[in-house]
Amino acid sequence: MTKPMFRSRKWKRVKVKLPGGRVTVHYRKPKPGIARCGKCGKPLHGIPRLRQAKFKNLPKTKKRPERPYGGVLCSSCMREVMRAAARSV
């Protein structure tokens, strides 16, 4: 019998073949959702779908795009914000 915490569908079931030839079921947390733009909600490109434990070990350049508002706004919303800032100056 599995642990009660693994009975919910929150955990992804992965069949793993062991060195002895036996196949067992391992339980993993699923991938997190895609990062989304803070303004329009479109999916952000250049941000990996990793759990926090793996994400923190990545180098900074792999975590988000190298541009203003990278990882927060999509490119089209970033352009709008930059244009609005330039017009107000």
In this structure, the dihedral spanned by the alpha carbons of residues 52, 58, 63 and 68, taken in order and rounded to 10 degrees, is 130
Confidence of residue 70 (pLDDT cuts 50, 70, 90): very high
What residue segments make up the domains of the chain, in order of their start?
Answer: 1-30, 32-89
The predicted model scores a pTM of: 0.70
1 — pLDDT class (breaks 50, 70, 90): confident
**Of 1, 5, 69, 80, residue with least CA distance to 35:** 69
pLDDT at 3: 93
pLDDT at 89 over 90: no
Contact between 35 and 43 under an 8 Å Cβ cutoff? The reply is yes
Query: Does residue 18 surpass a pLDDT of 90?
Result: yes
